[in-house]
Structure 1
Amino acid sequence: MKKEIIVAGILGVSIVIIILAVILTSSPKSEIIEVEDTLNKEISPETEIPEIEEKIDDIEKINLENEYSPKPREWLTSGPFQIDRSKYAIGEKIFLVIGGLNGNEKGQIAFMRPLNDTHYSVYMTIPFDGMKKDIFNYYVEPQISKTKEICSIEDIIGKWAVVFRGTNYPNLYFEITDNVVPGTNIEPEC
């Protein structure tokens, strides 16, 4: 009898364990946490705030005003020398074309930046010699430079001159305006 009770107890405990195992395996709890996908949803306030809308409109207006587009080329000429425009924005390159120099023409092209209404300072010089090279192109980009003592955009803005030293060709004049090409560094350096 004792054996029967022990066998019945073991059998009963075994049945309870099997039932619990079936219940636990039939409804497993997942360790995956569901997260709502908000990356593809647009976030918008429930009510529109006039101050925010006004700021957004102001920013869009400034962006439209600062939209950059280069002026069309108009080619100013003095003998075999040409520059592509009469007005440039800060950050634009001045395209200089030299074509058809005579073999005896030798000198320097001096880009002169304005100091005031009557005086200039040499920004840079480009030598030329018709015996060595009678045709070439050059880019000049006036920019803020501590070494050239050009501390801010105020030192760049104004009417510039291109002087052809060693020749009788007349000077060319162009203006750098206060417009700025996007991405141009205009932070003062000196």
Structure 2
Amino acid sequence: MKKGLIIGGILGVSVAIIILAISLDSELKSDSIEVEDTLDKEVIAETETPEIEEKIDDVEKINLENEYSPKPREWITSGPFQIDRSKYAIGEKIFLVIGGITGNEKGQIVFMRPLNDTHYSVYMTIPFDGMKKDVFNYYVEPQISKTREICSIDDLMGKWAVVFRGTDYPNLYFEITDEVVPGTNIEPVC
């Protein structure tokens, strides 16, 4: 008799567990399907509204307008001095290569930013001395700066000059355009 009660109890518990497992499994499946159906309906409903389609088109248009790709290097030269382009976007670095300065050449490389059509202001001065170093590279990144009194991108744009003080080498000229490298901070500071 005891064996019959034990087997009956085990059998009853087993049946209860199987029924519970089946009911939980069917509940989970039905919930998942309902959630997925709800999500599908929401996505379909949102993409069909004209306002959302118009906003998506506007965002895509802005992305295309802001698409940036650096221009190819063209290496503008004055004696042993070279810059890599004639036009730069705001936020691009100007790559300056100095190669083959003779031992008696000593002076300054001066980057001059435009104030107007006829006047310039010193942006940066880089000394050089052929006795100490005859070859080197330098990066210059013109940017908005309160201390340099460059308040906005308007103060960066225009035709810049690179002057080689202490030499007879002709000046180099380049332009900073109104294009902006993505991620560049262009907020006015003054």
Instruction: Identify the range of structure 1 (58-67 vs 118-127) with the bigger mean alpha-carbon deviation.
Output: 58-67
Q: Equivalent residue of 2:132, what SS?
A: coil
The runs of 5 or more residues in structure 2 that have no matched partner are none
Tell me the distance in 2 between the aligned counterparts of 1:78 and 1:146: 32
Q: Is residue 97 of structure 1 aligned with residue 97 of structure 2?
A: yes
Larger radius of gyration: 1
Tell me the distance in 1 between the aligned counterparts of 2:187 and 2:43: 36
2:159 matched residue in structure 1: 159
Q: How does 1:5-24 map to 2 (within 5 A)?
A: none
- The residue type equivalent to 1:105 in the other structure is E
1:177 matched residue in structure 2: 177
The one of 16, 26, 30 equivalent to 2:15 is: 26
Q: Equivalent residue of 1:174, what SS?
A: strand
Tell me the distance in 1 between the aligned counterparts of 2:175 and 2:56: 34
The runs of 5 or more residues in structure 1 that have no matched partner are 1-14
Q: Over the residues paired in the alignment, what is the CA RMSD in angstroms?
A: 2.7
1:10 matched residue in structure 2: none
Tell me the distance in 1 between the aligned counterparts of 2:134 and 2:13: 93
2:114 matched residue in structure 1: 114
Provide, for residues 70-125 of structure 1, a one-character-per-residue CA deviation record: whole Å limited to 9, x for no partner: 11111111111010100000010000010111111100000001111111111101
Tell me the distance in 1 between the aligned counterparts of 2:69 and 2:11: 75
Tell me the distance in 2 between the aligned counterparts of 1:96 and 1:186: 24
Provide, for residues 22-78 of structure 1, a one-character-per-residue CA deviation record: whole Å limited to 9, x for no partner: 767633557898352869x76622360112111111211221121111111111111
Tell me the distance in 2 between the aligned counterparts of 1:20 and 1:51: 64
- The residue type equivalent to 1:171 in the other structure is N
Identity %: 76
2:43 matched residue in structure 1: 44
2:135 matched residue in structure 1: 135
Tell me the distance in 2 between the aligned counterparts of 1:84 and 1:21: 85
TM-score by length of 2: 0.81
Q: Equivalent residue of 1:173, what SS?
A: strand
Q: Equivalent residue of 1:36, what SS?
A: helix
Tell me the distance in 2 between the aligned counterparts of 1:95 and 1:118: 25
Provide, for residues 157-184 of structure 1, a one-character-per-residue CA deviation record: whole Å limited to 9, x for no partner: 1110000011111111000000000111
Q: Is residue 53 of structure 1 aligned with residue 53 of structure 2?
A: yes
